[in-house]
Structure 1
Amino acid sequence: MSHPLNLTTALMLATPPFLWAGNAIAGRMMSHLASPFTVNLIRWSVALLILLPLGRNVLRRDSGLWPHWKRFVVLGLLGVGSYNALLYLALRTSSPINVTLVGASMPIFMMAIGRVFFGVRFLPMQILGALLSVTGVVVVLCRGDWHALLTLRLVPGDVIMIVATIIWSVYSWLLARPTEPAAIRKNWSGYLLAQVIFGVAWSAVFATGEWTLGQPQFDWGWPLALALLYVSTAPAIIALGLWGAGVARVGPNIASFFSNLIPLFTALMSSAFLGELPQLYHGAAFMLIVGGIVLSSRR
């Protein structure tokens, strides 16, 4: 059962978007240095080594995890093995600002999945807010030119990011519908470790396919090492742990609107680190997304 949003929970849900914005910037920096599925495997392998001493108790036979191992296989596939790998893949052909703004379509996917698969009903104002946010996404896809919708040619990264956003929406709903004992969920490091273990296995499968079927790239050096160190810690362990706890408190629908802070943080970081200045249509899209947040938050 979800609880009212308070300051502590708001801070808990606002921190991951800031860290994930940094993940998008780092992913863009690594896009010409290493292949996306390889980056994802290294990222979560490092995170696994960090989490092992913190949450190893969850691996005991009597921890209550093992009767629910199939659930953690799915959570590991969606939240660890798939989402960020697709994000890094999207960043090879799209900018961090565009990718995160496209990801701001999450509320509409949250509502659709919640209604179809979980029977959740939403207020008309919430639906209107979600549609307004999606309008902001359309502004990004057409680059601010409505006439371009008639001959719209999506950048591959934009399409990939839409798929990634749907995957993350499903992941968040599954987090909000726990079947495992409460003791496992309260142990954030153990709960995250259980997902990462299976997620690393999925990541290894995808990275193997990348090296077998594609043209892998891996240019080792300090820039790649520092970027990997960042994405393996703050946006992985800290952000995912806080997001899971926040979703458990207020539910995925309210939490999803905090993800719309990512474009704002990304735009600021892109200007500072990549020299990719926001365009006028980015500002218009962000205002539409914020308007959607305000409408959807009203009761």
Structure 2
Amino acid sequence: MNQRLTPATALLLTLPPLLWAGNAVVGRLVHELAPPMTLNFLRWALAFLILLPLAHRVLRPGSALWPQWRYFAVLGLLGVGCYNALQYLALQTSTPLNVTLVAASVPVWMLAIGAVCFGQRVSRQQILGALLSVAGVLVVLSRGQWALLAQVRLVPGDMYVLLATVCWAFYSWLLAKPAKNPALRQDWAAFLMAQIVFGLGWSGLSAAGEWTLGDPSIAWSWPLALALAYIAVGPAVLAYRCWGLGVQRVGPAVAGFFSNLTPLFAALLSAAFLGELPHPYHALAFALIVGGIVVSAQR
């Protein structure tokens, strides 16, 4: 059963959006240095090496991973093989504004998929929370000027973000399923490693197809190396650990609202890099997004 949203759990679910906002900024900065599918594969290969000393036991033939290989193969496909690969692919052709706008639909997809596929009841509080949260995102995207939203034009790359959002919603609901082997889920490193093992297979196939069908290239450099280190340690290992634990505590529907903090953090990080001070609309957006989280978490 889902627990009440506590300050500690709220902090757990706030850290991933902050790290993922940095991931979007870094992904955009290095989009000309490495092709998207290859970047995703390299990211998770590094995460595998980071977790190997902590979770090497899960790879043994007699571990609890192999009786549940189908479950972890699906988690690896959705969370490792698809989600970030589609985001990196979208950043090749779409604008950050469009990517953030489409990704802002995460809470809506969380509620819809939970109701249709997992038999979860959607309450009025959750619907109201979704509206408040999306309104906060729109305030950030419009910079407090609603006329700017009319200038947004969707491009084919935005469909990759929409597909990534749907994958993430399914992934989060699958995380909340009762564990067949509680011991494996209690070991966070082993649980994440079990997903990465199969995710590397999926992302490896995507990278191989990218190099077979196209003419990609990698510009090895210190900026690319630093970017890989960040996206492997922060948005991969730390963010997935915190997100998984938070989802298990309060459920995917409530956790989904925290994902809308990502565009707010992205706006603040961009402002920091550009040397600009935050504007009043950032405070309004923060209030709306947090208000959506509080309302949706009411019992």
Shorter-chain TM-score above 0.5: yes
Question: After the TM superposition, which of the residue ranges 14-23 and 109-118 deviates more from structure 2?
Answer: 14-23
CA contact (8 A) 2:261 2:289 kept: no
Letter in 2 for 1:110: M
Q: Which shifted more, 77-86 or 171-180?
A: 171-180
CA distance in 2, matches of 1:281, 1:217: 41
Match for residue 257 of structure 2?
257
The offset of 1:180, in angstroms, is 2.9
Whether 1:168 and 2:146 are equivalent positions in the alignment is no
C-alpha contact (below 8 Å) 2:16/2:235 kept by paired residues: yes
Opposite residue 130 of structure 2, the aligned amino acid is: A
Kept after mapping to 2: 8 A contact 1:21/1:265:
yes
Residue 100 of structure 1: aligned partner: 100
Q: Partner of 2:110 in structure 1? A: 110
User: How big is the alpha-carbon RMSD for the aligned residues of Structure 1 and Structure 2?
Assistant: 2.7
Q: Which amino acid aligns with 1:11?
A: L
Distance of aligned partners of 1:186 and 1:218 in 2 relative to their CA distance in 1, 3 Å threshold? same
Counterpart code for 2:58: V
Evaluate the alpha carbon distance shift between residue 275 and residue 36 of structure 1 in structure 2; reply closer, same or farther with a 3 A threshold. Answer: farther
Indicate if the aligned counterparts of 2:33 and 2:220 stay in contact, CA closer than 8 A. Answer: yes
Q: CA distance change for structure 1 residues 96 and 280 in 2, over 3 Å: closer, same or farther? A: farther
What is the TM-score normalised by the length of structure 2? 0.89
Structure 1, unmatched stretches of 5+, are: none
Q: State whether residues 137 and 264 of structure 2, in contact with CA within 8 Å, keep that contact through their aligned partners in structure 1.
A: no
Q: CA separation in 1, counterparts of 2:158 and 2:242?
A: 27
Q: Deviations over 1:98-143 (max 9, x none)?
A: 43343221111011011011111021121132244445667759x9
Within 5 Å, give how 1:1-299 maps onto structure 2.
Answer: 1-96=1-96, 98-134=98-134, 140=141, 144-145=146-147, 148=150, 153-273=153-273, 289-299=289-299
Kindly state the Cα deviation for residue 214 of structure 1 after the two structures are TM-superposed. Answer: 2.3
- Tell me if structure 2 keeps the 8 A contact 1:172–1:252: yes
- TM-score, structure 1 normalization: 0.89
Letter aligned with residue 59 of structure 2: L
1:194 counterpart letter in structure 2 = A
Deviation at 1:16, TM superposition (A): 1.2
What CA deviation, in whole Å up to 9, does each residue of 1:240-266 have, x standing for no partner?
A: 011111111111111111111111211
Amino acid at match of 1:241: R
Following TM superposition, by how much is the alpha carbon of 1:153 offset from its aligned partner in structure 2, in angstroms?
A: 3.3
Question: Where do 5+ consecutive residues of structure 2 fail to align?
Answer: none
Aligned length: 297
